Amino acid sequence: MTAPLGATSEVGPLQTVLLHRPGAELRRLTPRNNDQLLFDGVPWVRRAQEEHDAFAAELTARGVEVLHLDRLLAEVLAVPAARDELVAAAVDDPRLGATLQRTAAAHLADLDPGDLAGTLIAGLAHDELPGGRGLAFEIMDRGDFVVPPLPNLLFTRDSSVWVGGQVAVTSLAMPARHRESTITAAVYAHHPRFTGAEQLYDASLEHLEGGDVLLLTPGVVAVGVGERTTPGGAERLARRVFARGLAHTVLVVPIAQQRATMHLDTIATMVDVDAFVMYPAVADSLAAWTVTSAQVPDDDDTTDLTVTGPAPFLEAAAAAMGIDRLRLIDTGLDPVTAEREQWDDGNNTLALAPRLAVAYERNTVTNAALEAAGIEVVRIAGSELGSGRGGPRCMSCPVSRAALPGSPGAGGP
């Protein structure tokens, strides 16, 4: 029996998670294109796969059902409507021109579901397109991409997030990631595993990424705004969760607009019902605006909002959660070590349950501090996976979490 879809917290026992095992798309990375494709280096692909397999195995060993995005994608590509949507999205690129768009679409349409899934993820290079025609095709170098690869699909947290029993397919900010949302949307719309799932958000709306969304407790959502998520995206999400009864408070948390802090979960994640691990450099300065709605909401996008603040983040969060205080686990890091471990995703933990979290093994000081505070740490390797600047939380989209004791079920606020 499968668990009900949805999540209402960051730390409820994890039941089902969506991952993407890195593959041929990582082999497309070169020193010439890795910056454009948002990687800080060129990873050793086989080792990255071994690290990801070990991550998935740790989850499975603890009773978590692991869904693989590429397998779900191949299955939905047997559905004509999904195939048409994704082929059209793959060639919807002004670089190509009409002739090359038609040629590429015809080639993709002839592929079987498995091969098409692989191509949509790994991309299609100029010299891999038989019968390519058009001015753009002639001018391209042989290694240029007709359909660019999606190496960041590894970070499944960003393109969708479940709030209660509804899924927000997000609007990714960076051009290199736009097609990820089309793939995620097709899987949720067409795969029988997600039949009846209601969509909370979509890629046509203001920029909003899942790494910026934290479910603090049933009814309380924190949204970081910075490099990837805009204030407009946070506002749109707030209106929608209020109108649909999925939350009563949204905390909007400004973060530095830089790559090291691209998402809220790069600087703070929950490891217990009342505890955060946080980058020490922001612990005293992180603030939040509290967003609520006084009216009885009846429309997704016109609900009147009340905004108060700013206030220190931990104080605002505790007040919204109805508790006296939130614990901040003191990692005891000196400034240099703190900066290094934050860069290596030391604060990007994935909670499997209260006081049980997955973390990269390389962040030895942070992990030791977590254990000293009573948090069991499941250590995984990430020397190659981390080259895209993402940790265990970034690499996982919880599809189902059990409700915490005393809280409503996973499908409700």
Q: Which residues are annotated as catalytic? A: 394
CA distance 38 to 387: 9
Is there a contact between 347 and 366 (Cβ–Cβ < 8 Å)?
yes
CB 55 within 8 A of CB 63: no
Tell me the C-alpha distance between 26 and 48, whole Å. Answer: 9
| Cα gap 306→143, rounded to integer Å | 52
Q: How far is CA 125 from the centre of its chain?
A: 27
Residues 6+ apart with CB under 8 A from 60: 66
Residues 160 and 20 sit within 8 Å (Cβ to Cβ)? no
DSSP letter assigned to residue 402:
P
What SS3 state is found at 253? strand
Q: Which residue in 225, 343, 335, 216 sits closest to 280, CA to CA?
A: 335
> Is the separation of the CB atoms in 165 and 412 below 8 Å?
yes
Residue 168's alpha-carbon distances to 67, 163, 252, 356, in angstroms, are 18, 7, 17, 26
